């Protein structure tokens, strides 16, 4: 009876950390930034086993020389494991560590730079397989609980299975956190996701508390989140297994020290029935409102002409993190395309098609008989509206205030659409546009292929209208842009992200400055970004990463697409 009671109590204690709870267990947090680092060969650095794909990791940092200077340290900011065949970097800060084989020890190096000098560190990394860890636990237990060895072994086996194999009943579970010490106040948050439906998209939210959960705050409001995303559309982030984000506290946490710190992870499902948003524009100028409805999937038979003329359809895109820009060596690459990590913390809706001429006319009350009120050079109801100025879309007064705010002029396209739907529709930011275009690809084209020729590319021929295929009559037209949706969509069902017409973005053109969260673009200049290339462009100007900028006037090869941030 005692053994049974003992087994039950220990099992309950061990499994508590893996139950389906939104809150983590309470733990310590120290916001004091270390200004001096003096490490000895035996100094350990705290680390989470979940960061190495479930394999426990023990780390030892050895300083080549001691330092009493003020330095700024980023653990594993560029640590090269020379002994690892086929592995080049373990980039902890950017969440791009390489998988390390278990049951082995590796020597790694790191350089920490100060304002006056650099400190070189050697790092010994030992990775042990899970069975070895549990064998150690069992041996230790046997020494202290000799008469309960069998019971303890059974409990350890149960914990091993439950900890690393079982899935929580709910969507979010197994939440834990660890502050990286001694060099940083950053907090690594680990959790599991078990999506209930393969079509469900989740908006992930992360909360913290310094008083054991009595008061809470959103982590992104008190610092920066890196990797804060999850979508069952992306198995990398929402498949079975552990997931993680890093919270970088802001200066308000520099003096915070508590042993009652807790973290909560919350997954808010975006109703799968609302995968597509449909705006009914058929009432035109006489409609008091433009009715909004939703679809769970593409209609049987595909998108008919009404979705390109009298209805405007948008598709939900999950929040996420991606690499914006292009790698060195990509054909046609420009200097302004420096690769950097971008995190978009909120899901959004993106237009499935570029706004067509008929849709533009219905929103803006263009007369069907007065041709001079139509902006487009090449007429066609299902062709993209071009020669539409940025000022026409958002207005030439308060509509030019971005990034200070997202206000638009009352009579602009977005002003009318907002007034008749109640939703704050807008152009995308440049970061949102490229993220939507790529649809989780990292290649030149959003079908997972690379550009092979700067002027003409066979893969681009499948994806959009550009200078080398404008005479193929695709979509019923030639020698100019063509009917929207005439080419293949990307993985998120968005058409014409490559070619047809350039698409206006909100942003003022600026230089990429490194990793960013929800970037809004530069704040000074008059040139606005346009993306995607056009029917006048050579292949390299239609790449996912290519950036174009113009003054806010209308042009024969520039149109736009409607977005809505949730």
Region of residue 203 (phi > 0: left; psi between -120 and 50: alpha; otherwise: beta): beta
Tokens of 312: 């405007």
Count the neighbouring beta carbons within 10 Å of the beta carbon of residue 181. Answer: 16
Q: What is the structure's pLDDT at 22?
A: 66
Three-state SS string over 81-141 comes to: CCCCCCCCCEECCCCEECCCCCCEEEEEEEEEEECCCEEEEEEEEEECCHHHHHHHHHHHH
Tokens of 277: 């948003």
pLDDT in tens, 317-369: 988 899 999 999 999 999 999 999 999 988 999 999 999 999 999 999 865 54
Please tell me the pTM assigned to this model.
Answer: 0.60
Architecture of domain 166-271: Sandwich (2.60)
DSSP 206-266: EEEESSTTSS-EEGGGGEEEES---BTT-HHHHSSSEEEEEEEE-GGGTT-EEEEEEEEEE
Would you say 246 and 185 are in contact if contact means Cβ atoms under 8 Å apart? no
Would you say 91 and 110 are in contact if contact means Cβ atoms under 8 Å apart? no
Count the neighbouring beta carbons within 10 Å of the beta carbon of residue 133. Answer: 15
Between CA 227 and CA 515 the distance in angstroms is 11
Would you say 187 and 206 are in contact if contact means Cβ atoms under 8 Å apart? no
Q: What is the structure's pLDDT at 194?
A: 74
**CA nearest to 6, candidates 136, 137, 149, 165:** 149
Q: What is the structure's pLDDT at 161?
A: 29
DSSP 302-336: ---GGGGTTEEEEEEE--EEEEES--TT-TT--GG
The residue to which tokens 């929103």 are assigned: 363
Between CA 39 and CA 63 the distance in angstroms is 6
Q: What is the structure's pLDDT at 286?
A: 87
Residues of the chain with pLDDT under 70: 1-22, 32-170, 180-184, 195-203, 226-242, 269-271, 366-374
Q: What is the structure's pLDDT at 19?
A: 28
- From first CA to last CA, the distance across the chain in angstroms is 56
Helix (H, G, I), strand (E, B) or coil at 60: strand
What are the residue boundaries of the structural domains of the chain, listed by start?
22-131, 166-271, 273-565
Q: What is the structure's pLDDT at 26?
A: 86
Region of residue 388 (phi > 0: left; psi between -120 and 50: alpha; otherwise: beta): beta
Helix (H, G, I), strand (E, B) or coil at 10: helix
CATH class for the domain made up of 273-565: alpha beta
Q: What is the structure's pLDDT at 132?
A: 39
pLDDT in tens, 502-557: 999 999 999 998 999 999 999 888 899 999 999 999 999 999 999 999 899 899 99
Helix (H, G, I), strand (E, B) or coil at 367: coil
Q: What is the structure's pLDDT at 317?
A: 94
């Amino acid at each position: 009876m005692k053994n049974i009671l003992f087994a039950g109590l220990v099992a309950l204690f061990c499994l508590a950390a893996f139950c389906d709870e939104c809150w983590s267990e309470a733990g310590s947090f120290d916001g004091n930034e270390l200004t001096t680092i003096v490490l000895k060969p035996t100094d350990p650095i705290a680390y989470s086993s979940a960061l190495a794909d479930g394999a426990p990791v023990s780390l030892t940092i050895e300083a080549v020389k001691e330092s009493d200077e003020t330095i700024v340290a980023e653990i594993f900011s560029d640590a090269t494991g020379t002994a690892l065949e086929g592995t080049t970097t373990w980039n902890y800060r950017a969440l791009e560590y390489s998988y390390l084989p278990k049951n082995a020890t590796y020597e790694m190096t790191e350089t920490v730079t100060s304002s006056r000098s650099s400190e070189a560190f050697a790092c010994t990394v030992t990775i042990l397989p899970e069975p070895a860890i549990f064998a150690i636990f069992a041996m230790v237990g046997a020494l202290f609980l000799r008469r309960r060895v069998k019971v303890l072994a059974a409990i350890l086996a149960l914990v091993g299975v439950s900890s690393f194999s079982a899935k929580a009943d709910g969507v979010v579970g197994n939440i834990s956190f660890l502050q990286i010490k001694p060099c940083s106040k950053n907090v690594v948050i680990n959790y599991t996701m078990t999506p209930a439906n393969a079509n469900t998209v989740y908006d992930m939210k992360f909360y913290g508390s310094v008083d054991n959960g009595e008061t809470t705050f959103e982590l992104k409001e008190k610092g920066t989140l890196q990797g804060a995303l999850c979508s069952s559309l992306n198995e990398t982030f929402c498949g079975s297994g552990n997931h993680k984000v890093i919270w970088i506290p802001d200066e308000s946490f520099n003096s915070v020290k508590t042993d009652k710190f807790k973290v909560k992870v919350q997954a808010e499902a975006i109703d799968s029935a609302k995968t597509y948003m449909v705006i009914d524009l058929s009432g035109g100028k006489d409609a008091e409102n433009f009715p909004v409805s939703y679809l769970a999937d593409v209609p049987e038979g595909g998108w008919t002409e009404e979705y390109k003329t009298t209805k405007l359809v948008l598709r939900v895109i999950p929040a996420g993190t991606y690499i914006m820009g292009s790698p060195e060596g990509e054909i046609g690459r420009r200097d302004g395309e420096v690769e950097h990590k971008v995190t978009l913390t909120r899901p959004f809706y993106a237009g499935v098609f570029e706004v067509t001429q008929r849709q533009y006319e219905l929103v803006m009350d263009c007369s069907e008989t007065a041709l001079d009120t139509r902006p487009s050079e090449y007429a066609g109801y299902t062709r993209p509206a071009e020669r539409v100025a940025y000022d026409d879309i958002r207005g030439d007064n308060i509509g030019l205030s971005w990034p200070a705010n997202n206000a638009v002029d009352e009579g602009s396209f977005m002003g009318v659409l907002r007034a008749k739907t109640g939703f704050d529709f807008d152009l995308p930011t440049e970061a949102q546009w490229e993220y939507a275009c790529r649809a989780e690809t990292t290649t030149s084209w959003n079908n997972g292929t690379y550009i092979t020729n700067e002027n003409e590319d066979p893969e681009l021929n499948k994806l959009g209208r550009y200078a080398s295929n404008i005479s193929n009559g695709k979509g019923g037209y030639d020698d100019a842009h063509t009917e929207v949706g005439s080419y293949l969509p990307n993985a998120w069902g968005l058409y014409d992200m490559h070619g047809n017409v350039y698409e206006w973005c909100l942003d003022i053109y600026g230089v990429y400055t490194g990793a960013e969260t929800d970037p809004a673009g530069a704040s000074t200049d008059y040139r606005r970004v346009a993306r995607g290339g056009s029917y006048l462009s050579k292949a390299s100007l239609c790449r996912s990463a290519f950036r174009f900028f113009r003054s806010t006037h209308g042009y024969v090869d520039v149109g736009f697409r409607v977005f809505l941030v949730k």
